[in-house]
A and B are shown apart, each in its own frame.
Chain A
Amino acid sequence: MNRRSILIALAAAALLAAAAFMAVRVMMTPPDGLDLARSKASARGLYAVTIAPEKEPLEQGPLHSWILTLKTPDGAPVEGATIAVGGGMPQHGHGLPTQPQATAYLGDGRYRIEGVRFNMSGWWEFTFDIKAAAGDDRVVFNLAL
């Protein structure tokens, strides 16, 4: 009886330690099932937005550019949009380390987003507030570095 209760106590302690270990892992890494799609509809459905780093592979550290492709839901390129870039790390409670900007329209709904840097690994949100003829809308992408 005595030995059995020791065993049970040990098992409970091991379970607790395992749970704590997992909790820490969860804090450190992006949440499971995070939507990492690089093409999605904006929040109100006004635009179909695709993003891609100008150069693959995406690197942590250096300043780099992305290309954002903006289309209507039926696939027509959207020209003359004003795009404000934001984001940050939800698990760390801070924003982007730089202030990226849409600096050029490259044609065919494509916009260059310059001045992007991800200085840490983990879950980043990359947010675009879009103003164009169809109206104002926002799209939030998740990145896992």
Chain B
Amino acid sequence: MRKRLIPILLALAGLTACQPEEFTDAEKATIASLSLSALPPLPADTTNRVADDAAAAAFGATLFFERRLSRDGTVACATCHLVDRQFQDDRPRSVGLAMTDRRAMPLAGVARAPFLFWDGRKDSLWAQALGPLEDAREHGGTRAAYAHFVAATFRDRYERIFGPLPDLAGVPAAASPLGSDAESAAWEAMPDDKKREIDTVFANLGKAIAAFERTIVHQPTRFDRFADAVAAGKAPEGDAALSEQEVYGLRLFIGRANCVTCHNGPRFTDDHFHNTGVPPVDGLPDDTGRAAGAKKVLDDPFNCLGAYRDGSEEACGELRFMVSQGEELERAFKTPSLRGAAARPPYMHSGQIATLADVVDHYVRAPASVSGHSELKPLKLSDRERAALIAFLGTLAE
């Protein structure tokens, strides 16, 4: 009896080993799909004719760091998107002229996102750049003021890229449909063709900034070197090696913990919006995420179907076929990339969760959403497994 049991026992022990030496073919394919090496070339953006123009990118970089592109000369894009901090600011909620309601997103690979902001309320990088410029708590300026500023300060650089600036005589110093009451009134008083000229200048500033932002890319990490070695059938060594704990975390990430369901592909994001039951922040206005964002992008005059797009409408598939209503949009927020995430707490759209350990705890508990339905299901992870997942995320940040 005993003699018969032992081989069975050995066979079962083999079946249930937590860390078999070799990855399965399916695991290898998933690991390879997460490597930066699997990232296709950046597609052209036909809606922005200067998207890959070097002079436009250089001008965009100037604008990105230009504090005078704000109401009081104190706020640049780089104020919240810090160049040495993965183009984010380490704060739960960003502070421009005042504190906003949302966490600044890092910018690497941002040109590949079909929708921008946590709620996807913009559908191109150039349209995205226009939002903060006029947000009262961010740059707080107006499109008319920016047109005057460019004419006075950067006329040559602008005109070499975009052609002649319009005649700004008679254009109010500050005017925007999104401005204060006085600024909105000033905008309304402008003739339509002048509004259109100013909007074109404004959109062009976004297009130059987008040309710069297209150059901000992810750098290969230790995980990428590991993944490339695994994909090539080589033993990962030296700066490609992962510790046993990190490999265990990777197995959980692509397996039982289900992280890879949404954090997939070389950027570790499915570019979609999910309700994961992240709690609202006390004292902030209700934030329904994608439910509001979808409406905003449809109404945005600078969206792909609007008058300021270059190229043909064929580029507008994302907007044309967007899901614009339904319960799945309620409190859904964009899946952030996990590249570099270990080095940039806090987490979630308003910085609700302070540490990666707390993030993992959130996914283990899977709390219900205050409205809509969380897509999370409770997980069972031991302390050892939680630590392994966090260790694995570290390999994406070094």
- Chain A residues at the B interface, C-beta cutoff of 8 Å: 3-4, 7-8, 10-11, 14-15, 17-18, 21, 24, 28, 60-61, 63, 92-101, 114-116, 119-122
Bound state CA distance, A98 and B15, in angstroms?
40
- Flag if A114 contacts B317 (CB, 8 Å): yes
* Nearest CB of chain A from residue B24's CB, rounded to whole Å: 10
Q: State whether the Cβ of B1 lies closer than 8 Å to any Cβ in chain A.
A: yes
Q: Residue among A24, A114, A120 with the most chain B CB within 10 A?
A: A120
- What's the interface size class on B, roughly? 20 to 34
Beyond A4-B5, A95-B326, 4 extra complex contacts between A and B, CB < 8 Å: A8-B5, A11-B8, A14-B16, A15-B12
- Chain B residues at the A interface, C-beta cutoff of 8 Å: 1-2, 5-6, 8-9, 12-13, 15-16, 30, 114, 255-256, 258, 260-262, 264-265, 270-272, 317-318, 320-324, 326, 328, 375
Residues of B within 8 A of A10 (CB): 9
Residues of B within 8 A of A101 (CB): 321
A4-B2, A11-B9, A63-B318 known; A122-B261 Cβ under 8 A: yes
A-B contacts, 19 listed (Cβ < 8 Å): A4-B1, A4-B5, A7-B2, A11-B9, A14-B15, A18-B15, A18-B16, A21-B16, A28-B258, A61-B271, A92-B375, A93-B375, A97-B272, A98-B323, A99-B321, A99-B322, A119-B270, A119-B271, A119-B272
Bound state CA distance, A17 and B270, in angstroms?
32
- Flag if A60 contacts B265 (CB, 8 Å): yes
* Nearest CB of chain A from residue B363's CB, rounded to whole Å: 15
Please give me the residue from chain B that is nearest to A10 by CB atom. Answer: B9
* Nearest CB of chain A from residue B320's CB, rounded to whole Å: 6
10 A-B pairs with the lowest CB-CB distances in the bound complex, closest first: A115-B321, A14-B12, A119-B270, A17-B16, A98-B321, A119-B272, A63-B317, A97-B272, A18-B15, A99-B323
A4-B1, A11-B12, A18-B16 known; A92-B321 Cβ under 8 A: no
Bound state CA distance, A21 and B380, in angstroms?
13
Residues of A within 8 A of B323 (CB): 95-99
Residues of B within 8 A of A95 (CB): 323, 326, 328
* Nearest CB of chain B from residue A111's CB, rounded to whole Å: 15
Please give me the residue from chain B that is nearest to A15 by CB atom. Answer: B12
Bound state CA distance, A63 and B256, in angstroms?
28
Contact of A60 (CB < 8 Å), options: B1, B2, B264? B264
Bound state CA distance, A60 and B29, in angstroms?
13
Residues of B within 8 A of A63 (CB): 114, 317-318, 321
Bound state CA distance, A98 and B294, in angstroms?
12
Residues of A within 8 A of B317 (CB): 63, 114-115
Bound state CA distance, A98 and B272, in angstroms?
10
Bound state CA distance, A28 and B377, in angstroms?
13
Residues of B within 8 A of A98 (CB): 321-323
Bound state CA distance, A14 and B12, in angstroms?
6
A4-B2, A95-B328 known; A24-B255 Cβ under 8 A: yes
Contact of B9 (CB < 8 Å), options: A14, A100, A114? A14
Bound state CA distance, A41 and B302, in angstroms?
44
* Nearest CB of chain A from residue B255's CB, rounded to whole Å: 7
- Flag if A28 contacts B255 (CB, 8 Å): yes
* Nearest CB of chain A from residue B385's CB, rounded to whole Å: 13
Residues of A within 8 A of B272 (CB): 97, 119
